Chain A
Amino acid sequence: MWNLLQIELFKISKRPRTYIAFAAIAAIVFIFQFAFKADGQSYMNLMLQSVKDSFEFERTKAINGYFMCYIILNTLLVQLPILVALIAADSISGEANMGTLRLLITKPISRTQLIIVKFAAATIFTILLLVWMAITSLFFSLFIFGADDMLIFRSKGDESQILLISKDDVMWRYLAAFAYATVALTVIVALSLFLSIFADNSIGPIIATVCIVLVCTIISNINVPIIDKNVRPFLFTSYLVGWKGFFYIATTEDGVPIKGSVENWAAIRNSLSILLLHIGVLLGASVFVFRKKDILS
């Protein structure tokens, strides 16, 4: 199995399209960093307009490496499924398109092994993508903007809330957030892989994955009680941004943040469980369908 995984990773590393995702992330992150370095204060003034008088905070320190990373993640983690789909949706359909799938199937490896190895390789690619994102958005931002206490703007119902997290209480939250994002994006890997089984070229599964994510995200954001109650809890897209939960720090009755705390651990655990369930179901379905599939391409 390890041998097969090495081969898969080798093949992924040799394909030019693999590096598109890394280049895209780097480009977006650097544009963000440049924009905030040049004119970040205007953004902060806008965000803090409503709390101008009631909130005391040195604005020049508000734009720091931790804050930048949060802003970048907030934007990029919604787009990242597209980049993940570029590789994962190509897993089986790309082999079928090249004609190499039939050669793979004639080798003494089981179809279940092949699916699991493809899934593992695409997941490793996703992890590497997130590590790259952590390096560019967190560590480069810390290098450019420095470290300080972190401001979080949060919408809670009709209210807007500003949370302040002490700088020595931030790093573990980012590690947890990236770990959560890995699980969330692994659902996209499993979905793309599943769709990939039905196609003979990778364009179809890539578009299908993006469409499913888009449609489910729109449904997840429809604030109608009937959807909130009956549909939203079952859609994986409702949990893709669950990583933010690690930054919603619990406060005392007086509103003082409690160091090392998270407001709602249960919600994070629940989100993770649902995401893992999606991965299990999609991976199981992929194995089931692929084992029965006639390889004609």
Chain B
Amino acid sequence: MSAIIRVSHLSKQFKDTKAVDDLSFTVNKGDVYGFLGQNGAGKSTTIRMLLSLIAPTEGDITIFDKKLSTHRSAILRQVGAVIEKPDLYKYLSAYDNLSIFAKMSGIKASRELLMQQLEMVGLADRAKGKVETFSQGMKQRLGIAVALVHNPELIILDEPTNGLDPQGIADIRNLILRLSREMGKTILISSHLLSEIELIANRMIILHKGKKMVEGKVSELLDPAHSMIQLETTNDQLAKEKLLQSNWADTLQEGKSIRLLMNKQAVPQLISDLVGLDVSILSVNSSHSLENYFLSLTTMSGHVEPFAN
């Protein structure tokens, strides 16, 4: 599979803060690539570097097999982007905004094409309406139309569902899936919600404090084989000691509570073994290990080890 984006040892230093730290990843043709991390993880900074809004302190970015630093215009001709809020010219109509950005993208867009784009995002009937009268969701959809008007190969969406209601989020999600499945676009989408990325991305990366924590296929990273099982017993201390002397010792995680990283399918066997060891079980909870890991990133501060799949 050919790589569309290749990022290698990318870093960005803002005065005393290292926003992105030695980051490397690859986005392949046709991927919907999820860019996940809490606020301040370095997602937006990385996306801004991919779009040449800010210059990297170190590292290389190659898009469409061309170096961004030397082939900026040629690359950006094939890229469409929505960066955070879809800020457009509020005093202009939806049609005028789309027309302006189509021209800036280097294409001569006919009225039919522009109306088609507005139709696609459900704004054809508001083509002449000024953007200042639009809701957040309408602005977001217009922002996506602007990003798509020149039919780019690569689409970069930075938190495109921010501030949208559930219906708006579902609309954007469906649009992204259509762009990927029906039109074969390569999409890089950032979010701070794992559940959102899980629904649309085929590959993803998790960033924390500018560093890569994990990267891979969503189906593998969220495989039930990597479940976190949490047990509550009548005597957790005693139960832990007994587990450490059993075949389950390797799966036991550090911490106060009893947590085991294991295949969900093996839970009946675990319960049977614990009963055999005279451990009285009060409750068993299962969640995906990556989900727990991601949750821990958003709650803890300080040093965090990369996720071991």
Contact = CB atoms under 8 A, between A and B. Distances in A.
Contact of B77 (A10, A15, A102, A108): A108
A182 to B, nearest CB: 28
Contacts of B90: 98
B85 to A, nearest CB: 6
A11 B100 contact: yes
**Size band of the interface chain A makes with B:** 20 to 34
Nearest to A292: B55
B87 A7 contact: no
A258 interface: no
Contacts of A102: 48, 51, 53, 83, 87
Interface in A98-122: 98-100, 102-110
B73 interface: yes
B103 interface: yes
Interface in B11-59: 48, 51-55
Contacts of A38: none
Interface in A6-24: 7, 10-11, 14-16
A4 B81 CA distance: 19
A3 interface: yes
A102 to B, nearest CB: 5
A296 to B, nearest CB: 7
Contacts of B73: 108-110
Contact of B87 (A98, A292, A296): A98
A226 interface: no
B105 A107 contact: yes
B148 to A, nearest CB: 13
Contact of B53 (A14, A98, A295): A295
A103 B79 contact: no
A99 B143 CA distance: 12
B88 A7 contact: no
B160 to A, nearest CB: 14
Contact of B83 (A3, A103, A108): A103
Nearest to B49: A294
Contacts of A3: 103
B218 to A, nearest CB: 27
Given A11-B92, A106-B79, A295 B87 contact: no
A107 B48 contact: no
Contacts of A100: 87-89
Interface residues of B, number: 29
A295 B103 contact: no
B170 interface: no
Interface string B129-159: 0000000000000000010000000000000
B89 A98 contact: yes
Interface string B59-93: 00000000000001110110101010101111110
Contacts of B88: 98, 100, 103
Nearest to A6: B103
B127 to A, nearest CB: 16
B85 A99 contact: yes
Interface string B87-116: 111111000100011011110000000000
Contact of A107 (B55, B76, B92): B76
A14 B100 CA distance: 13
B53 A104 contact: no
Given A110-B73, A295-B48, A104 B87 contact: no
Nearest to B92: A14
B51 A106 contact: yes
Contacts of A103: 81, 83, 87-88, 101, 146
A4 B104 contact: yes
A103 B92 CA distance: 15
Given A3-B103, A14-B91, A294 B54 contact: yes
Given A105-B51, A106-B53, A296-B54, A7 B100 contact: yes
B89 A107 contact: no
A98 B100 CA distance: 16
A4 B89 CA distance: 15
Nearest to A8: B100
B54 A295 contact: yes
A87 to B, nearest CB: 14
Given A15-B91, A100-B88, A102-B83, A108 B105 contact: yes
A106 B100 contact: no
A16 B52 CA distance: 32
A284 to B, nearest CB: 20
A17 to B, nearest CB: 10
Interface centre among B51, B55, B73, B100 (most CB of A within 10 A): B100
A106 B74 contact: no
19 contacts: A3-B103, A7-B104, A11-B100, A14-B91, A14-B96, A98-B89, A102-B48, A103-B81, A103-B83, A106-B51, A106-B52, A106-B53, A107-B101, A107-B104, A107-B105, A108-B105, A110-B72, A294-B54, A294-B55
State the 5 A-B residue pairs at the shortest beta-carbon distance, nearest first.
Answer: A99-B87, A294-B54, A295-B53, A107-B104, A108-B73
Interface of B: 48, 51-55, 72-74, 76-77, 79, 81, 83, 85, 87-92, 96, 100-101, 103-106, 146
Given A11-B92, A98-B87, A294-B53, 10 more contacts: A4-B103, A16-B91, A102-B48, A103-B101, A106-B76, A109-B73, A109-B104, A294-B54, A295-B54, A296-B53
